[in-house]
Amino acid sequence: MLAEIVTIGDELCRGEIVDTNATFLASELWALGVTVGWMTSCRDLREDVVRAVKDAAARASVVLVSGGLGPTEDDLTVDAIAEAAGVGVAIESDARGRMEARFLRAGFTMTPNSLRQVRIPDGARVHANSAGIAPGFELALGGATLLAMPGVPRELRAIWADSAAARVRELRRGTDEIARVTLRVFGKGESHIDHLLAGLVADVPGATIHFQVVFPETLVKLVVRDPDRTVAEERLVRLAAEARTRLGPSAYGAGDDSLAAVLGRALASRGATVAVAESCTGGLAGALLTDVPGASTWFAGGVIAYANERKVADLGVLPATLVEHGAVSHACVLEMAASVRARIGATWAVAITGIAGPGGGSEAKPVGTVHVAVVGPEGRAAHKQYLFPGVREQVRRLAAYWAMALLLREVTA
Amino acid sequence: MLAEIVTIGDELCRGEIVDTNATFLASELWALGVTVGWMTSCRDLREDVVRAVKDAAARASVVLVSGGLGPTEDDLTVDAIAEAAGVGVAIESDARGRMEARFLRAGFTMTPNSLRQVRIPDGARVHANSAGIAPGFELALGGATLLAMPGVPRELRAIWADSAAARVRELRRGTDEIARVTLRVFGKGESHIDHLLAGLVADVPGATIHFQVVFPETLVKLVVRDPDRTVAEERLVRLAAEARTRLGPSAYGAGDDSLAAVLGRALASRGATVAVAESCTGGLAGALLTDVPGASTWFAGGVIAYANERKVADLGVLPATLVEHGAVSHACVLEMAASVRARIGATWAVAITGIAGPGGGSEAKPVGTVHVAVVGPEGRAAHKQYLFPGVREQVRRLAAYWAMALLLREVTA
């Protein structure tokens, strides 16, 4: 089954916004076993929209459309799709009722244009919008099924989750059920992961695997299709277990879990806390950790010691250490971690010091050199030295992630 | 003059990567006064690529193509474009020489496939790739000029900057010169900015304005076109000055300057330094500030005091302040700023405390409540209380940005 995605809007063609809707829908369709043949974006011009949906419907059996369903005169998608299908346009009464109730609550005044966004082509089937006003809708166009959704990503995703995804599954040829899981991997490159997982799905009927790099992580998406839901799920469980075994602890989580969230749970479940001491990352590790809701139960605090004199004054690094080994050294990072742990009184501490660039590198310590140390209870300590590739932003991000990964390894050891 | 963008790759149609190349090229074309009519993505299928470039060339006078120029068998763009143009394919000798030298330096072995990526269609004009191996190229297709570039964003941008942008300017119908500037605005919403700039370009010949939201900032792009370069530039200078006057200090910079970089220059030029004390942002302000290369000359250090006891122990906040006013209060944030300034010995200090959510809110202090304080030399002090909209990530980002903005205002006052 072939699908196409059509995204509509002047703002796309002027490069004012990145088309995340097309990527979201393509990824969802892939997971449903539906191949996307073409993705097209055009401006808010009626004739272009008509052409875009007609071309797509001539090539594919499912066409997903996003954008142009709002209240302004620029929003022409309903009219264009109706024209392409040779039907009229009418107010959709449920959506109108919800809009009027919403305006009343908010004290907004309806304008004549307000009604534009609750219109649908005659004979179209409604896909209700639980996150906004403009309803999604579905109709037959040529031999294809066309599904239109608003361009606001939150609304598009709501309609997709509420009814559109189920509808596409229904339309999909065959009766396969789909079981899927996304493993989150940090600390191994895509080609290394590919190598470790070689042959994983070869003997598993209906199983596929694909990768998505979300720097600095890699998402491994496992999908199993089978007419029997239980069979698909059992196969997926075995497959995911085998993948985790092969990937080891670098497969740290699944689904929407961030590395920081997994680390936070590991700490919280042990009644432990962590403190950070950051030099080259300047607060980034703390920012990532405290991005997790409820971090206050396990995140104690931290010190950003960017300059050498702050490492001495705020972190008790010995001046002799700086003289003999420098600020980017095993000795310095261990003193930073031990000191911040003692000062803040946390169960664990992690420290980061390095050369993020573009300046500051030398032959002995080139840009990208980073030391990470973890210090914990009962004299536990770990240290790693890295040489990260990339520009400043990448070096800093890699340093913060490796610090979290090293800490997770020690906490769960 | 109408342009189209064609981006090629299975990974796009599977939703594995977001198509930032199309957005980049669309934005660049808009600034050059070239309208993008359609943007199309297709898979690595020869017949689809042939159709995509032919359709685009039939509709537009310039076609920009990205992707599929690599060394693997999947990379079919050169062959497909050559087929569409009815020509053969040949090795491009300059690119081959550069590749061989590069492989020799790195100790890589050439494989037969390596040569695939230095081929171009017969008769095509080369656009050299200063950031990679595969050259860009240009040829006539129907009545259009087609320009192909690799899909690796770094390489595409290098070719664009080195020669492709200049070539599109050359091709652009008419002889207008283009003067452009991007103003960076933080602290005013898009509709407010729109209102303040109403009528700005109305009486200026050849002038246009458009907005791009890059949360939490808004970019205001001013463009002036005129046959005479000097006239265009003079008009732009006047326009930009008028826009800055109307927007006030919220138009903090231009071009690629981040708020942190502007703040850093303001501090460095005064021989001043800054320290941060962060609660709800957990290190984010420090991370943003130290993202600026060379931040060590003006960034002194910081304290992440997430828990109340850390505010007392590490920042000298009075226990009585916490009891009487709470951690999210005018009194607490001022004590945090004054204390971190004194402890770290910085010229300036900025402190942030608030409720980022999703939990922790109350009727008196709902989620999104944030206090920011700046303390400086000669008893200078400033305080702001905010109620930010949005989810945890947005509240934290807004808090860090407003803290930088308040500091910039005080430092430059």
B301 contacts A307? CB cut-off 8 A: yes
A294 contacts B359? CB cut-off 8 A: yes
- Closest to B350 (Cα-Cα) out of B291, B399, B413: B399
Cβ-based contacts under 8 A for chains A and B: 239
Q: Which residues of B touch A370 (CB under 8 A)?
A: none
Q: Average of pLDDT values for B385-406? A: 94
- Closest to A136 (Cα-Cα) out of A40, A225, A204, A68: A68
Chain B residue with minimal CA distance to A396?
Answer: B291
Q: What is the pLDDT of residues A19-58, one digit of tens each?
A: 999 999 999 998 888 999 999 999 999 999 999 999 999 9
Residue-level pLDDT at A175 = 66
- The Cα of B139 is separated from the nearest Cα of chain A by a number of Å equal to 23
Beta carbons within 8 Å of A23's beta carbon, 6+ residues apart: B12, B15, B17, B18, B19
Edge to edge, the sheet with strand A2-8 lists A125-127, A136-141, A144-149, A62-66, A2-8, A35-42, B35-42, B2-8, B62-66, B144-149, B136-141, B125-127
Angle at A287 between CA A373 and CA A304, to 5 degrees: 55
Residue-level pLDDT at A111 = 79
Residue spans of the domains in chain A: they are 2-171, 177-254, 259-411
pLDDT exceeds cutoff 80 at B82: yes
pLDDT exceeds cutoff 80 at A327: yes
pLDDT band at B175 (very low <50, low <70, confident <90, very high): low
- The Cα of B132 is separated from the nearest Cα of chain A by a number of Å equal to 15
Residue-level pLDDT at A248 = 95
Edge to edge, the sheet with strand A251-254 lists A207-214, A217-226, A177-186, A251-254
Residue-level pLDDT at A192 = 83
CB B282 within 8 A of CB B403: no
Distance CA B223, CA B202 (A): 13
- The Cα of A66 is separated from the nearest Cα of chain B by a number of Å equal to 14
Residue-level pLDDT at B56 = 98
Q: Which of B22, B294, B310 sits opposite A344 (nearest CB)?
A: B310
Which CATH superfamily is B259-411 part of? Answer: CinA-like (3.90.950.20)
Distance CA A90, CA A383 (A): 67
Residue-level pLDDT at B174 = 67
Q: Which residues of A touch B303 (CB under 8 A)?
A: 301-304, 314
Residue-level pLDDT at A256 = 86
Q: Which of A23, A211, A301 sits opposite B310 (nearest CB)?
A: A301
pLDDT band at A174 (very low <50, low <70, confident <90, very high): low
Q: Which of A14, A314, A359 sits opposite B294 (nearest CB)?
A: A359
pLDDT exceeds cutoff 80 at A156: yes
A392 contacts B291? CB cut-off 8 A: yes
- The Cα of B22 is separated from the nearest Cα of chain A by a number of Å equal to 8
Q: Average of pLDDT values for B70-78? A: 87
pLDDT exceeds cutoff 70 at B185: yes
Architecture of domain A2-171: 3-Layer(aba) Sandwich (3.40)
Distance CA A187, CA B186 (A): 36
Q: What is the pLDDT of residues B195-253, one digit of tens each?
A: 899 999 999 999 988 777 788 998 898 989 899 999 999 999 999 999 999 999 999 99
Q: Which of B28, B301, B314 sits opposite A344 (nearest CB)?
A: B314
Residue-level pLDDT at A172 = 85
Q: Which residues of B touch A314 (CB under 8 A)?
A: 301, 303, 343-344
Q: Which residues of A touch B14 (CB under 8 A)?
A: 26-27, 30, 36, 210
Amino acid identity, position A400: A
Q: Average of pLDDT values for A330-344? A: 96
- The Cα of B57 is separated from the nearest Cα of chain A by a number of Å equal to 15
Q: What is the mean pLDDT of chain B?
A: 93
pLDDT band at A2 (very low <50, low <70, confident <90, very high): very high
Distance CA A103, CA B58 (A): 46
Matching CATH topology for B177-254 and B259-411? no
What is the torsional sign of CA B221, B225, B228, B231? negative
- Please identify which residue in the block is written with the tokens 């919008």: A129
pLDDT band at A73 (very low <50, low <70, confident <90, very high): confident
Residue-level pLDDT at B173 = 65
B314 contacts A39? CB cut-off 8 A: no
Q: Among A101-110, B251-260, B339-348, which stretch is predicted with the lowest mean pLDDT? A: A101-110
Q: Among A123-127, A222-226, A342-346, which stretch is predicted with the lowest mean pLDDT? A: A222-226
Q: Average of pLDDT values for B286-302? A: 96
CB B262 within 8 A of CB B408: yes
- The Cα of B231 is separated from the nearest Cα of chain A by a number of Å equal to 25
Q: Which residues of B touch A287 (CB under 8 A)?
A: 281-284, 286-287, 396
- Please name the fold of domain A177-254: Alpha-Beta Plaits (3.30.70)
A39 contacts B29? CB cut-off 8 A: no
pLDDT band at B113 (very low <50, low <70, confident <90, very high): confident
A302 contacts B301? CB cut-off 8 A: no
3-state class (DSSP) for residue A328: coil
CA A83 to chain centroid: 37
